[in-house]
Amino acid sequence: MLDLKGYGPALLDGAIVTIELAFLSLALSVALGLVGASAKLSQSRVAKGIATTYTTLIRGVPDLVMMLLFYYGGQVAVNMLSDYIWEAYEIDFFFQFDPFISGVVTIGLIFGAYMTETFRGAFLAVETGQIEAARAYGFTRFHTFRRIMLPQMMRHALPGLGNNWQVLLKTTALVSIIGLTDMVRVAEEAAKAERMPFHFFIPVAFVYLALTAGSELFIKWLDKRANVGVVQGS
Amino acid sequence: MPDFIAEWLNQNEIFTAMTIMEYWDGMVTTVHLVFLSLVIGLLVAVPLAILRTVRNPFVSGPVWLYTYLFRGTPLLIQLYIIYYGLAQIEGIQETFWWEIFREPFYPALLAFTLNTAAYTTEIIRGAIVSTPNGEIEAAKAYGMNWFMRMRRIVLPSAARRAVQAYSNEVIFMLHASAIASVVTIVDLTGAARNIYSRFYAPFDAFIFVALCYMALTFILVFAFRKLETHLLKHQRPVSG
């Protein structure tokens, strides 16, 4: 049986941190992606410009650099802001920028850009006739979005969404570099202390493998459900 | 040079000739590492992709397992396993391999190469599998044997279909190489981290390095777009 030298509970806690991090970043990135895709498809040139700048910038910079910038830079920015607020209004305002928040914000922002592209394509795949019909029925813009666009675009967005999720899950490992005690960090400390790198990293690798394999099955199932009633050509 | 830029350069303490040189050395290391791993990765991936399409599961199975393992786990873990793990192999410290693997550059190169080879294998496999059957039938009708068919028909046509996905993989690898800095390699990110800790100036250090990566990324995007138009020249619609 696998002997984790007393690091078992810490590794389990780390795994839970990894999963929390992944789900929170996913939620943020999906929200950003929906906003970004709407902005890209809107009539407003300003909104289009902002969304395009956002996706271009994010895709040009490595995730680790972005994370280091937000983690170290975020704290400096918060300090500057709190100094300013104290001097201007004498309100004591301060918060610690911890690795978990930096991780969620960075990963959310990065994958928000990828989700924007995925959702943009998926929105475009919904037939315009559907939207015209909704308008003819007197649906408001919000209702059209909520009842007509969203359910139909999900079918087209799922494969891309699934891919992004798989990459996101593996990206969470990077947050160990800025000091979050996720399972990679615990494994690293254990491997150094016990001088047994294979012993700790390989089980962690298998946890990631199990997570990605499980997600793959789940996405396949979702895809099947989303495509119920769609006649597929051979 | 506009005056305000000259003035700003004179006033700031961070972007001196010394630190610019550090960034430059970092960029050379990054490009060196990424270029070598991509080239070796591609050379490994082509035969693996062909093996992966073989019907015999005893041939394609191990290749599938390799790509599955390397694509299903984070690159950071692979790097840690290779970097910390190689030193633990019994007796390696007495062999000449130790001279190579005691430098962090080579374990990182090995990890990056294995990782990119796994992704590239799947990209090429996808392109090989989607070769139109007519092309293969025509090649057979001309009496080409398997090897010639592969070399003259299947691989060139697969390369055209793979180039788009492969360009994404190249950019992904450039960005992923930033983690080399965690095993003490002073690449671009490593240089930025050193300069950050010396001046405690996160914005200057990391925004500058982000711009360097962005420049490298856009050069790659541009080069691949050129390559793609070149490879797909024959499919361009005829116009006046």
Taking contacts as CB-CB distances below 8 angstroms, the residues of chain A near B69 are: 205, 209
pLDDT of residue A59 exceeding 50: yes
Predicted pLDDT at A108: 95
Q: Nearest CA to CA, how far is A228 from chain B (Å)?
A: 27
- Could you tell me what percent of chain B has a pLDDT over 70? 96
A151 in a structural domain? no
Alpha-carbon distance B18 to nearest alpha carbon in chain A (angstroms): 21
Task: Specify the CATH number for the domain of residue A40.
Answer: 1.10.3720.10
| pLDDT, tens only, A38-51 | 899 888 899 999 99
Q: Residue A135 falls within a domain, yes or no?
A: no
B176 touches chain A (CB under 8 A): yes
Give the right CATH number for B31-52+59-187 from 1.10.3720.10, 3.40.50.300, 3.40.50.620, 1.10.10.10. 1.10.3720.10
The pLDDT score that the predictor gives to residue A233 is 56
Answer whether residue A143 is part of any domain: no
The per-residue pLDDT for B3 is 75
Binned at pLDDT 50, 70 and 90, residue A5 comes out as: confident
What is this model's ipTM?
Answer: 0.87
**Which residue in chain B has the smallest CA separation from A174?**
B76
Quick one: pLDDT at residue B1?
A: 59
Q: Looking at the domain assignment, is residue A139 inside a domain?
A: no
Residue A234: its pLDDT value, please? 45
Q: Which tens digit of pLDDT belongs to each residue from B31-56?
A: 999 999 999 999 999 999 999 998 89
Residue A51 in any domain: the answer is yes
Residue A178: domain span? 8-130+156-226
Of the spans A129-133, B7-11, B12-16, which averages the highest pLDDT?
A129-133
Reported as a pLDDT band with limits 50, 70 and 90, residue A63 is: very high
Q: Looking at the 3D structure of chain A, how many domains does it have?
A: 1
Contact check, Cβ <8 Å, B77/A201: yes
Count Cβ–Cβ pairs < 8 Å, chain A vs chain B: 110
Output the pLDDT for position A82: 83
pLDDT digits (tens, 9 = 90+) for A86-125: 888 877 777 777 888 889 999 999 999 999 999 999 988 8
**Is the pLDDT reported for residue A135 higher than 80?**
yes
pLDDT(A61) > 70: yes
Whole-number pLDDT of residue B94:
76
Q: A68–B196: do the CB atoms touch at under 8 Å?
A: yes
How confident is the model over B159-172, as a mean pLDDT? 92
For the stretch A5-8, contacts whose Cβ atoms lie closer than 8 Å and that sit 24 or more positions apart, written own/partner, are A5/A190, A5/A194, A5/A196, A5/A199, A7/A186, A7/A187, A7/A190, A7/A200
Mean pLDDT over residues A180-191, rounded?
88
CA distance A166 to chain B (A): 8
pLDDT of res. B9: 66
pLDDT level of residue A31 (50, 70, 90 thresholds): very high
Q: Look up residue A42 and give its DSSP letter.
A: S
Higher pLDDT, B108 or A196: B108
